[in-house]
Structure 1
Amino acid sequence: MNYIGKILPVDGYMVDLHGNLPVDYSKSLTHLYLPLIGIKAVMLYQTLLHEMEFKEIAPIQTHHTIMNYLNISLVDIYEARLRLEGIGLLKTFENKTPEQTVYYYVLQSPFSPNDFFKDAMLSQLLFHHVGQDKYSMLKSHYVGHFEQPSGQNVTASFHEVFDTIIPDANAYHKVERIPENQGPHIDSIDFSWMEHMLKSRMIPYRRVLTTENKRIITQMMHLYGLAEYEVEKCVLWALTDENYLDIDEFKEACHDTFKNARKEASVQLVTREAEPAPTNRQQPITKEEQFILELERISPKQLLEDLSSGNHASEQDLKVIREIMTTQGLPSPVMNVLIHYVLLQTNMKLSKAYLETIASHWSRANLKTAKEAMEFAKREKERYRQSIEKKQNQRTYRKQSSKEVVPDWFKERKQKTTTIQTDTISEVELQEMESILNKYSSGGKNSHLQG
C-alpha cells in the first residue's frame, strides 16, 4: 500500500472530541474495536485523545510528535488514521495555507459495549473476526440477559402524567435507536426498488422499511457485497407472520447467502487497495466507453425511463426485469446492456420471451460488468451474422453452379452492398448510444441505483 507523501512530519494537527465518552469506552476499544482495526489504530486514537490535555499550551503540533510517541512510521500513522475514519471513530478536516498544512482531527465517541452489539454491522464484523465462541462470551458479558419481571406492566405513559401546551404531532415509539452520527459511515441507497417489490406482494412496506431497518439492510448489503435481488430474498425470508422484519433472521439469511454464493470468501476488515496513479487518459475517449460507464452506474429502471424520454417505466416492464434478474442472477449493469440490446433488436419493444432467452445464455456465461456484456453481445451478433452470410453464400453457390456463371464485377458489387448495410446498422446503434448520453449530460438525472 503506497501512502508515502500523504502526510508529512512537518504537517500540523489539532485535536478535539465530539460528544462525551462512555464510562467504559476503554473496554470497547480494547475488546471490541481492537480486533477490527488493529493495535496501531487504537493506539493512535488514545494518543490523540490524551493530546487534548495540551491543546491550551500547544494548540498545533506536528506529526513528528506522534511518530516519537508511538515509535512508528508516518505511513503507519496514515493507515491507522484511515482505519479510524472508516470505522467511525475519527473525522478529519484539512486546512492548507502557503505556510503550513494543518489537520483538524475530531475524535468521535466510541460505542459503549452494550450499544456496540446493537449496531448490526459492527457486531457482525466482530463475529467474523473473533469467532462464535469468543463473540458469544463477549456479548454475554457486556450485554447479558434481561429477565422480564412477571406480572402486568402498569407503568404510566408520558401522556398519562404530563401535558404540553402545544401537542406534539409525532408519535412516541419505544425503539432502541443508536445516534446516527456514531458507527461507520455507509453511503445511503434508494429503497424504491424494494418498496415496489413489497407492494407487488401486498406487504405493508412502511412496516418493513423503517428508518432503523433501512440502516441495517444497507449495512448488511455493504458488508456482504449482496446484489439487490439477494437482499430481496433475505428480507422476504426474515419477515414474520405480521410482516415485521426479524433482524436476527435477516442477518443470518444475509450470512448464509454470502456463504452459498462465495464459498471461498471470508468477511474480514482489510484496507482497500490504493487506486492506481492517474494517467493522461482520465476520461473515456469514445462514445461507447462513456455509454458503458453510464450503464455501470444507473439502474434498469432509470435506463427504461431515459429510453422513453423521461416517462415512468411501466410496472409490467419492471416486474419482468425484476423476475429475470432474480431467477438468472444478473447484475444491474449486465441487465442494462441486455435491456438496451433487446430494445434495439425488437424495434424498442421489451419482449419478455426474448429477454428470458438471452438472459439464460448470459447467466451461463457468468457476465459481471457492462463491458463484458457488451463485448459478449457483439461477438454473438458477429457470429450470427457470419452464420447467415455463410448460409447465403452456400445457397448462392449452389444456385450459380446449376444455372450460370456470375461475373467478378457483380460479386464485388454485392460485397460492397453487404459492407454498407453492416455499417448502417452500426451507425444506428451509435446514434442510439449518443442520444442516451446526451440525456445524461444535459438532463442532469440522478445516477443512483433505483430498483
Structure 2
Amino acid sequence: MKYLGKVLPVDGYYVILQECLPIDYTKSLAHLYQPLIGVHAVTLYLTLLHEMELQSDSSPQTHHTLMNYLNIPLDEIYKARLKLEGIGLLTTFKKQKEDATVFTYELLSPFAPSNFFEDAMLSQLLLHQIGDTKFHALKRHYHKIAPGDLGENITVAFGDVFQTFTPSIEEAKPKENTNQAPTRNDATIDFSWIVQMLKQRFIPVGKVLTQENRKLISQMVMLYDLDSNEVEKSVLWALTEENLLDTEEFKTACHDLFKSKHYEVPIHLTTKRIEPKQQVTEPQTKEEMLIHELESISPKQLLEDLSGGNRASEQDLKAIREVMVSQGLPAPVMNVLVHYVLLQSNMKLSKAYLEKIASHWSRANIKTAKEAMEFAKSEQNKFQKSAKQKTSYNYKTLSKEIVPDWFKERNNAKQKKVVQQASQTVIDLEKEKAELQALLSGKAMSNKNRSQG
C-alpha cells in the first residue's frame, strides 16, 4: 500500500477529546496497547493529546509540526494513525476547504488496565504478542477481581426512592443495565444459526447466548476469522454440564481451530495490505443473480424461500447442519448443494444424498457458491454424456440381434446334419442311377441275344 500523498505536510489538523481519560491511561498505553500497535502509534496519540492545549481555534496546526515533533517521515505518521484508528483510539474526519485540507482527530479513551482484560479480542491479541508468562503477570497486577461471595445485593434503584412524575405503562418497564465497559470493534454475525443449533440439542439459548457471550463470540469470529460451523464446534466444546459457556474453553477452542487451519501461524497485529478497490459490477445474468443470492443468505433462509416463505422444518435444518458441520462446507457452498439436491430429487431433501455429494465437494475443496455451481454443472454434464453413450451402445447392440453361443452351436450342429443328409442324399441318388443304368444295359443285351437265337 502506498501511503505517500494520503496526507501532505501543509494539511492542517485539529484535535478534540470528547471522553474522559482513565486516571491510569498511560499505563494502559505503555504496557497493554504499545505491544500491539508499536511505539510510533502510542507516541502519536500522546502528542496529539497534549497538542490540544497549544492549538488555536482560528488556524489549525500543520502536519509539518507533527513531523518535527516525532522526527519521523509523514508516511510513518500516516501508518501510525491507521493503527490508532484500527485499535479504537482515534476517529478521523476530513474536510476539504477552498484552499486547504483540514483533518479533525478525535481521540478516544483507551481502556483502563482492569477493563482491558475484559475485552476478549484485545486480551487474546496481547496474549499472543507477549506470551503467557508476561500476559498473566500483567493480568494479575491490573485485573482485580472482586470477592465472589459478597452476599445479596440489596441496593435500591433511583426509581425506588425518587419520583418526579407518574410514568406510563411503557416507561415503567425495567430497562437493561447499560453500565458496562466500553466495547470496540464488535463483529456482527448471524446468531440465528447458533440459536437453531442449540434448540435442536435442547440447550437453553438464554443461558448460552447472554449479552456478554454474544460479544465474546463476535470478537472471536473477528479475531480468528471463523466460519459458522467452526463457531458451532467451539460453542459445543465449551459448554459445561450446566449448559453454561466456559469462556476460557471457548477461546481455547477458537484458537485451536485457527491453528489447525493455518498450521501454527502466530497471531499478531500487522499492517493490513489494502488492495485498490475494484469496480463492483451488478449481476447481469440469471445465473449471476442466483450465485449472488446464494452467497448472501443462510441455508435456513434458502429453504424458506424455496417453500414460498413457509417455515423450514426442524428435520431439514438438522440434516443440513449435521452435513455442513461434518464436511466443513461454507454456508454458500451448502446453499448450492441444497438447491442442487432439491432440483435433482423433485424438491425432496434426502440426507443420504446430501452426505454423498457433500463428501465429494469437500474433497474437491470447493469454497464459494460460484465454484460449487460450476462443479455441479460439470458433473451433471459428465453424467448426461455417459448416460447418452450407454444408451447409444445398448441400442446398437440390440439392433444387431446378438445370438447366444449355445444357440449358435446348436444351430451349427443342425446345419451340419442337414448338409450331411443332403450329401448323403446326393451320393445315394448317383448310386441308384448307376445301378439303374447297369440294369438297363443288362436287359438290353439279353433282349438282343434272344432275337438272334
Shared topology, TM-score over 0.5?
yes
Structure 1 counterpart SS, 2:92: strand
Following TM superposition, by how much is the alpha carbon of 1:285 offset from its aligned partner in structure 2, in angstroms? 4.7
Does structure 1 conserve the Cα–Cα contact (< 8 Å) formed by 2:187 and 2:222? Answer: no
> Separation in 1 of the partners of 2:9 and 2:133?
43
- 1:157 aligned residue (155, 158, 178): 155
2:15 is matched with: 15
User: Where does 1:243-392 land on structure 2 (aligned, <5 Å)?
Assistant: 243-278=243-278, 282-392=281-391
Decide which moves more: 139-148 or 368-377. 139-148
Residue 291 to residue 276, structure 1, CA distance change in 2 (3 Å)? farther
> Separation in 1 of the partners of 2:236 and 2:255?
15
Following TM superposition, by how much is the alpha carbon of 1:79 offset from its aligned partner in structure 2, in angstroms? 2.0
Decide which moves more: 57-66 or 30-39. 57-66
> Separation in 1 of the partners of 2:65 and 2:249?
48
Residue 60 to residue 161, structure 1, CA distance change in 2 (3 Å)? closer
- For 1:332, give the aligned amino acid: A
Aligned residues: 396
Q: Output the aligned Cα RMSD.
A: 2.7
- For 2:393, give the aligned amino acid: Q
Does structure 1 conserve the Cα–Cα contact (< 8 Å) formed by 2:187 and 2:221? Answer: no
- For 2:313, give the aligned amino acid: S
> Separation in 1 of the partners of 2:154 and 2:282?
64
Structure 2 counterpart SS, 1:53: coil
User: Where does 1:429-440 land on structure 2 (aligned, <5 Å)?
Assistant: none
Residue 65 to residue 295, structure 1, CA distance change in 2 (3 Å)? farther
Does structure 2 conserve the Cα–Cα contact (< 8 Å) formed by 1:16 and 1:105? Answer: yes
The percent of aligned pairs where both chains have the same amino acid is 56
> Separation in 1 of the partners of 2:224 and 2:128?
11
Residue segments in structure 1 that go unaligned for 5+ positions in a row: 404-451
> Separation in 2 of the partners of 1:220 and 1:191?
14
Residue 161 to residue 226, structure 1, CA distance change in 2 (3 Å)? closer
Residue 92 to residue 334, structure 1, CA distance change in 2 (3 Å)? same
1:448 is matched with: none
> Separation in 2 of the partners of 1:162 and 1:400?
96
2:445 is matched with: none
Does structure 2 conserve the Cα–Cα contact (< 8 Å) formed by 1:305 and 1:312? Answer: yes
Superposed CA deviations along residues 182-239 of structure 1, whole A, max 9, x for unmatched, are: x3x2332221111122122222211211111110110011111111122122222222
Residue segments in structure 2 that go unaligned for 5+ positions in a row: 403-453
Following TM superposition, by how much is the alpha carbon of 1:400 offset from its aligned partner in structure 2, in angstroms? 4.8
1:434 is matched with: none
2:448 is matched with: none
> Separation in 1 of the partners of 2:176 and 2:349?
47
Does structure 2 conserve the Cα–Cα contact (< 8 Å) formed by 1:15 and 1:48? Answer: yes
Greater relative contact order (CA < 8 Å, ≥ 6 in sequence): 1
- For 1:215, give the aligned amino acid: K
Does structure 1 conserve the Cα–Cα contact (< 8 Å) formed by 2:11 and 2:103? Answer: yes
Following TM superposition, by how much is the alpha carbon of 1:159 offset from its aligned partner in structure 2, in angstroms? 6.3
User: Where does 1:47-446 land on structure 2 (aligned, <5 Å)?
Assistant: 47-56=47-56, 60-143=60-143, 153=151, 156-158=154-156, 163-165=161-163, 169-170=173-174, 177-180=180-183, 183=184, 185-278=185-278, 282-401=281-400
> Separation in 2 of the partners of 1:54 and 1:235?
51
Residue 377 to residue 265, structure 1, CA distance change in 2 (3 Å)? farther
Following TM superposition, by how much is the alpha carbon of 1:122 offset from its aligned partner in structure 2, in angstroms? 0.4
Does structure 2 conserve the Cα–Cα contact (< 8 Å) formed by 1:113 and 1:143? Answer: yes
